[in-house]
Chains A and B, each alone.
Chain A
């Protein structure tokens, strides 16, 4: 049994955006804080910290999940992708470019989480329709756009425009 004591730092190692990373944290350290504060990967945003707002959504082993409802010690050996995985050496990927084109963001706070949910959805359900896209987006709160621009960007990338 793996047993990690409170109040002590434990080494965690996992694959982040194709690269093996390592850092130390107490059991109570949220994965979202480990990414930002221990590893300095600030792409993942932190909003409500109780699983409701969706800003911290990342991919863990091929699932879109809340990084504020995971502890860093839980992802030992797993494969994670964050918004930093999306852009290519040439610039924005197609989903990011579509968000820009369709005004799918204004302040950008919710955007990293939304991009990661839509990335997972595209991998699992490339034929998702507007109803399904809206259902998935219901797990995110955006206070700027009214969601229409985000939906249009997703529909564009899913080939539904």
Chain B
């Protein structure tokens, strides 16, 4: 459980980080908090030749509200965002989901953008991005790109970010008037990877559900009121989960039906 050898780089600014990334390409990995990448490296599931540590870059430590969204820099930890006093007002779903991201001790270093970059199918922040429909800002020496949430995650632990690009910020839309939110998760231990996690965003027209932990990428569906059990059952089957050491596909479908019902009812009650 020790990482393979790597060069360690601590750039003084974003420009230096991008130049090194352009030079090394796929052989380099960006490390912000290292709470997912570090574990992967200890297990030798990741063996970068160069680790580019951006955790102390001041220019990435920003949380801003602009253009109807919260913009979170790549250096912002999950604990930083959770402690941001305006979070529950601006985006209640993020405030509800963040305490489920890892543990107190990993949120202290783990970043919001790093969790998106890692894109574990069981993790909460990629689910929040898919459900709320935000954007991911990437930079490289070639320029800048904005990747919409729907195009960001392209497979299990795979994103649309290219080898010479790095995530510099993520944007989550602000809660709009009349929207209500709910979130629930089942894991073996609080803070462990979700067996099933479901978030819900609703207004007077209907509800959008997002499910993590079942498929390779978060599953999202829009349903209109009234939401029938049949619709939740169809959604549970459509997600196409598999058996693994934590749970069977059948158990996951049952969780999707039951938790899906609970979060849907919670949103509906909050609306009435």
Per DSSP, chain A at the interface is mixed
In the complex where A1-B16, A3-B9, A51-B35 touch, is A138 in contact with B53 (Cβ < 8 A)?
Answer: no
Tell me the minimal C-beta distance from B5 to chain A in angstroms.
4
User: What separation, in Å, do the CA atoms of A95 and B74 have in the docked complex?
Assistant: 36
In the complex where A28-B2, A57-B105 touch, is A68 in contact with B9 (Cβ < 8 A)?
Answer: no
- Do B190 and A54 touch across chains, with their CB atoms under 8 A apart? no
User: What separation, in Å, do the CA atoms of A7 and B106 have in the docked complex?
Assistant: 28
Q: Which residues of B contact A2 (CB under 8 A)?
A: 8-10
- Do B42 and A64 touch across chains, with their CB atoms under 8 A apart? no
Number of interchain pairs (Cβ within 8 Å): 109
- Interface residue count on the A side (C-beta < 8 Å): 35
Interface centre among A33, A51, A65, A70 (most CB of B within 10 A): A51
A63 within 8 A of B: yes
B241 within 8 A of A: no
In the complex where A1-B11, A27-B51, A63-B79 touch, is A69 in contact with B5 (Cβ < 8 A)?
Answer: no
User: What separation, in Å, do the CA atoms of A117 and B42 have in the docked complex?
Assistant: 23
- Do A49 and B1 touch across chains, with their CB atoms under 8 A apart? yes
Q: Which residues of A contact B39 (CB under 8 A)?
A: 50-52, 69
- Do A117 and B6 touch across chains, with their CB atoms under 8 A apart? no
Q: Which residues of A contact B118 (CB under 8 A)?
A: none
- Do A54 and B10 touch across chains, with their CB atoms under 8 A apart? no
Q: Which residues of A contact B173 (CB under 8 A)?
A: none
A94 within 8 A of B: no
Q: Which residues of A contact B35 (CB under 8 A)?
A: 51, 66, 69
A24 within 8 A of B: no
Of chain B, the residue at the smallest CB distance from A49 is B1
Per-residue interface assignment for chain B, residues 1 to 40, with 1 indicating a CB less than 8 Å from any chain A CB and 0 otherwise? 1111111111110001000100000000000001100110
Of chain B, the residue at the smallest CB distance from A59 is B108
Within 8 A of B (CB), among A57-114: 57, 63-66, 68-71, 73-74
Per-residue interface assignment for chain A, residues 3 to 30, with 1 indicating a CB less than 8 Å from any chain B CB and 0 otherwise? 1111100000000000000000011101
Tell me the minimal C-beta distance from A23 to chain B in angstroms.
16
- Do B104 and A139 touch across chains, with their CB atoms under 8 A apart? yes
Of chain B, the residue at the smallest CB distance from A137 is B104
Q: Which residues of A contact B189 (CB under 8 A)?
A: 138
- Do B2 and A64 touch across chains, with their CB atoms under 8 A apart? no
B55 within 8 A of A: yes
Tell me the minimal C-beta distance from B117 to chain A in angstroms.
16
In the complex where A50-B1, A138-B189, A139-B191 touch, is A117 in contact with B105 (Cβ < 8 A)?
Answer: yes
- Do A51 and B38 touch across chains, with their CB atoms under 8 A apart? yes
Q: Which residues of B contact A138 (CB under 8 A)?
A: 103-104, 189-191
User: What separation, in Å, do the CA atoms of A120 and B28 have in the docked complex?
Assistant: 34
B99 within 8 A of A: yes
- Do B103 and A54 touch across chains, with their CB atoms under 8 A apart? yes
User: What separation, in Å, do the CA atoms of A49 and B41 have in the docked complex?
Assistant: 10
Of chain A, the residue at the smallest CB distance from B19 is A1
A123 within 8 A of B: no
In the complex where A1-B12, A63-B79, A138-B191 touch, is A74 in contact with B105 (Cβ < 8 A)?
Answer: no
A144 within 8 A of B: no
B43 within 8 A of A: yes
10 contacting pairs across A/B (C-beta < 8 A): A6-B49, A7-B5, A28-B5, A51-B38, A52-B39, A66-B106, A71-B8, A71-B51, A74-B8, A139-B105
Closest 5 CB pairs of A and B: A139-B103, A49-B1, A27-B8, A50-B39, A69-B38
Q: Which residues of A contact B (CB under 8 A)?
A: 1-7, 26-28, 30, 33, 48-52, 54, 57, 63-66, 68-71, 73-74, 117, 121, 135-136, 138-139
**14 more CB-based (< 8 A) A-B contacts, given A6-B8, A64-B104:** A1-B20, A5-B7, A6-B7, A6-B49, A28-B6, A48-B1, A50-B38, A51-B102, A66-B105, A69-B34, A70-B34, A71-B51, A117-B105, A121-B104
